[in-house]
Amino acid sequence: MKIGIAGAGLAGRLCAFYLSHKGYEVTVFDKASHPTDPVAAGFTAAGMLSHIAELESGDENIYNYGVRSLSLWKEIVPKLSEPVELHYKGSLMLAHRGDEGAAARLISLLQAKAPADQQPTKLSLEQLREQEPSISGPAHAWALQNEGHIHTRQAMYALYTSCQHTHWHWQTHVKKLTPHTIHTETETHSFDWVIDTRGLGARELKFANAHTLSCQNVRGVRGEVIWLQSPNLNLQRPIRLLHPRYRVYLVPRKPDILFIGASEIESEDRSPISVRTTVELLTAAHSVLPELAEARIIHTETNLRPALIDNFPRIEQEEGLIRINGLFRHGWLIAPAVVEDALKLFN
Ligand SMILES: Cc1cc2nc3c(=O)[nH]c(=O)nc-3n(C[C@H](O)[C@H](O)[C@H](O)COP(=O)(O)OP(=O)(O)OC[C@H]3O[C@@H](n4cnc5c(N)ncnc54)[C@H](O)[C@@H]3O)c2cc1C
């Protein structure tokens, strides 16, 4: 069976990985110039696998997809042909004195939504110091025991190199997509099934909204991130700073990189990071990790999350065509399970 995939972002690569391992002949088209050209949102993402923290804005579906995907990543990563950092050391939520109101509201929301065995655990400052000696400053801390994080750039590359029987067409803009057919600028390709994982590239389409029965286009939500290099910092797990105005998270990457993210702005502007976001992210990071004063800013990046109006993902299917879109800020958290559901008919 021949499968054509439009879009080699996270969803497209996972589809190619699953299907090629089942022995299908897979062809992938992407407008990016090469496999590591960071056009797709997946390259920019922090890779937080935060099924509990995301209950703040997510619903039961996001949570359940997240829990299933945590197990799926544990199966996928060992099968990849390149090493990928995947950690399940939990994550921490921190709040400064004075920000108790915002923190208390969020923690009680998570307590109400999370099952009994996934509840946030309050840590004393001593317990916090034992877990993460470099953190200093916050007055309150909670542990989210079962959360994880994945090295997104390593995983994007490893998914690409680990697909068997797969033909990759880079620098190839998909102009039109119909059941069984992908039209590029110069050619028309026929397949038994076509999968549309173009994210924002599918903006001409209307996706059904199950709640309002209306239809909606995909939109981009701007996210800006900063990479710091700090050789002496020994952070073991991701941390989130609960702040009344904005959320900031910090994710360690080996050997000495700290990833700080991310803004969430209703805009499709992909221009470089703003001064405002830079100041907010760095101030927040420095307020819990004073050692960062001597860290070096080595990289900044901006990208767009593909989102539908309710910020929930969609799988749509008709004979010869599957569409997966709307992964928004949850792609790494939920994509393995979303893709598994979308591809059920190939089982
Ligand atoms: C700053 C930031 C931080 C994030 N942090 C996290 C996180 O910590 N945890 C988490 O779970 N998620 C996170 N995400 C979200 C996650 O990255 C996305 O949900 C996910 O990457 C979306 O994947 P996708 O494959 O659906 O879409 P995309 O990544 O947008 O991929 C679409 C692909 O289609 C290609 N394409 C588009 N149009 C065409 C066309 N016409 N022809 C050919 N190719 C085309 C594009 O080049 C691209 O490669 C973050 C995102 C951002 C931006």
Q: How distant, in Å, are the alpha carbons of 104, 114, 173, 265, 336 from that of 120?
A: 12, 9, 45, 28, 25
Name the domain count of the chain.
2
Residue 214 located in a structural domain: no
Which atom of ligand 1 is nearest the CA belonging to 39? 47
Average pLDDT over residues 82-94: 96
Tell me the pLDDT tens digit for each residue of 224-277.
999 999 998 889 999 999 987 777 999 999 889 999 999 999 999 999 999 999
134 Cα to the center of ligand 1, angstroms = 32
Report the pocket of ligand 1 as residue ranges, CB < 6 Å.
Answer: 6-12, 29-32, 39-42, 44-48, 173-174, 197-201, 223, 225, 261-262, 303, 305-306, 327-333
Average pLDDT over residues 72-99: 96
> What pLDDT does 164 receive?
87
Residue 55 located in a structural domain: yes
Q: What is the extent of the structural domain holding 151?
A: 1-87+147-205+311-347
From the list 163, 189, 162, the residue with the least C-alpha distance to 175 is: 189
Question: Distance (Å, rounded) from C-alpha 107 to C-alpha 129?
Answer: 21
Give me the helices (H) in 22-99, please.
41-44, 60-79
> What pLDDT does 210 receive?
63
Question: Distance (Å, rounded) from C-alpha 286 to C-alpha 273?
Answer: 18
Question: Distance (Å, rounded) from C-alpha 339 to C-alpha 284?
Answer: 35
Residue 171 located in a structural domain: yes
128, 225: one domain: yes
242, 261: one domain: yes
Tell me the pLDDT tens digit for each residue of 285-313.
999 999 999 999 999 999 999 999 889 99
Which atom of ligand 1 is nearest the CA belonging to 222? 53
- Residue minimizing CA distance to atom 19 of ligand 1: 331
Question: Distance (Å, rounded) from C-alpha 271 to C-alpha 224?
Answer: 10
255 Cα to the center of ligand 1, angstroms = 25
Question: Distance (Å, rounded) from C-alpha 55 to C-alpha 61?
Answer: 10
161, 271: one domain: no
190, 252: one domain: no
259 Cα to the center of ligand 1, angstroms = 18
Average pLDDT over residues 79-100: 95
Mutate to test the pocket of ligand 1, among 5, 10, 160 (most ligand atoms within 8 A of CB): 10
Question: Distance (Å, rounded) from C-alpha 253 to C-alpha 204?
Answer: 37
- Residue minimizing CA distance to atom 41 of ligand 1: 174
> What pLDDT does 68 receive?
98
Q: Backbone dihedral region of 328: left (phi > 0), alpha (psi from -120 to 50 degrees) or beta?
A: left
Contact 96, 177 (CB under 8 A): no
From the list 144, 99, 136, 141, the residue with the least C-alpha distance to 123 is: 141
295, 273: one domain: yes
Residue 159 located in a structural domain: yes
Question: Distance (Å, rounded) from C-alpha 221 to C-alpha 269?
Answer: 9
Residue 183 located in a structural domain: yes
Residue 74 located in a structural domain: yes
Assess whether the previous peptide bond of 11 is cis (omega < 30° from 0).
Answer: no
> What pLDDT does 235 receive?
94
Which atom of ligand 1 is nearest the CA belonging to 302? 1
pLDDT band at 212 (very low <50, low <70, confident <90, very high): low
300 Cα to the center of ligand 1, angstroms = 17
285, 325: one domain: no
Q: Tell me, what DSSP letter sits at residue 133?
A: T
228, 299: one domain: yes
171, 81: one domain: yes
Mutate to test the pocket of ligand 1, among 5, 300, 327, 334 (most ligand atoms within 8 A of CB): 327
Length of the chain: 347
211 Cα to the center of ligand 1, angstroms = 24
Q: What's the CATH code of the domain at 223? A: 3.30.9.10
7, 81: one domain: yes
Task: Catalogue the long-range contacts made by 62-65 (C-beta closer than 8 Å, 24 or more residues apart).
Answer: 62/312, 62/330, 62/333, 62/334, 63/113, 63/114, 64/337, 65/313, 65/330, 65/333, 65/334, 65/337, 65/338
Which atom of ligand 1 is nearest the CA belonging to 175? 41
Average pLDDT over residues 90-115: 94
Tell me the pLDDT tens digit for each residue of 7-44.
999 999 999 999 999 999 999 999 999 999 999 999 99
Q: What's the CATH code of the domain at 28? A: 3.50.50.60
Contact 59, 113 (CB under 8 A): no
33 or 206: which leads in pLDDT: 33
Beta carbons within 8 Å of 115's beta carbon, 6+ residues apart: none
306 Cα to the center of ligand 1, angstroms = 6
Judged by DSSP in three states, 291 sits in helix
Residue 83 located in a structural domain: yes
Residue 212 located in a structural domain: no
pLDDT band at 341 (very low <50, low <70, confident <90, very high): very high
83, 123: one domain: no
From the list 199, 232, 194, 230, the residue with the least C-alpha distance to 217 is: 199
> What pLDDT does 250 receive?
97
14, 132: one domain: no
Question: Distance (Å, rounded) from C-alpha 221 to C-alpha 307?
Answer: 7
1, 60: one domain: yes
